[in-house]
Amino acid sequence: MFHGVTACPDQFDGLAKTFFDAGYNVYAPLTPQHGFADKKTHGKVTADELVDYVNQSVTIGTGLGSEVGVVGLSGGGMLATWASEYRPEVKRALALSPFYEPASAQAPKWQLPFLSVMYGYHILPDNFIVPADPNGAAFSYRALANYLLVKKNLKESPDNLPLKSFSVITSDDDDQIDLPMAHSIPQDISAKNPKMTFLETNLPAEWKIGHDIVSLENANVASRSEQLFRLYFNSYEGKTTNL
């Protein structure tokens, strides 16, 4: 399970227990440059570190059971997608609020190539997006740019993948990510792998869950955790769930 940008593995506490109680071994590794008291340290992460982190995590996962699957939230959802395309050991993938690109309100599309190069390669000094929640983490431009560099290397034609299932779940009130792209990239994977089970779900905006649809620190997730975690678990296994 790959956590989101600025977060750490405790973001998956509740969902990890759901999987573990169902009989899965669960590995939730800490992303490089994350988990420090200084929340701005995540700005030091590089695309190479992210790819190495995913590769090492999948390799460890091969020793934990008979089948490897990946679950990721936000930036971790993009990393889970990368793993499903490049690591043939991965048989199942669940992308939760996957961050492939920010919402246009967060960063206009014409700015993304500039942001990826100038911040991704540390040409400009880092800058931080001020969080709406005073207790939240400030997102590093450099970190987001390096996630975008990994996303740029997703396969243009991800065909012949050994995936049994790929599922994507987003919330309609998520204003952080490009929501159409969060579905179009998994849809493309599905179209090129017709034998794979593909599921996609939009959580209603009136639930007010927002971008982090996993952490129990989100009160609107906590209040629906049983329902949500059952949906996530079933989606991972390629089973439909009636909301």
Distance CA 232, CA 211 (A): 15
Single pTM value for the model: 0.96
Give the helix/strand (H/E) hosting 68. strand 68-73
Task: Kindly list the domain boundaries of the chain, sorted by start residue.
Answer: 9-236
Nearest to 24 by CA among 88, 79, 68, 59: 68
Identify the CATH number of the domain defined by range 9-236. Answer: 3.40.50.1820
How far from chain centre, in Å, is Cα 179?
13
pLDDT tens track of the chain, all 243 residues?
999 999 999 999 999 999 999 999 999 999 999 999 888 999 999 999 999 999 999 999 999 999 999 999 999 999 999 999 999 999 999 999 999 999 998 889 999 999 999 999 999 999 998 765 555 568 999 999 999 999 999 999 999 999 999 999 999 999 999 999 999 999 999 999 999 999 999 999 999 999 999 999 999 999 999 999 999 999 999 999 988
- CB atoms < 10 A from the CB of 51, how many? 17
Distance CA 3, CA 238 (A): 21
Q: Please, what's the largest Cα pairwise distance for the chain?
A: 48
- Helices marked H in the chain: 13-21, 47-61, 75-86, 112-120, 141-152, 179-192, 219-222, 225-236
Distance CA 128, CA 49 (A): 20
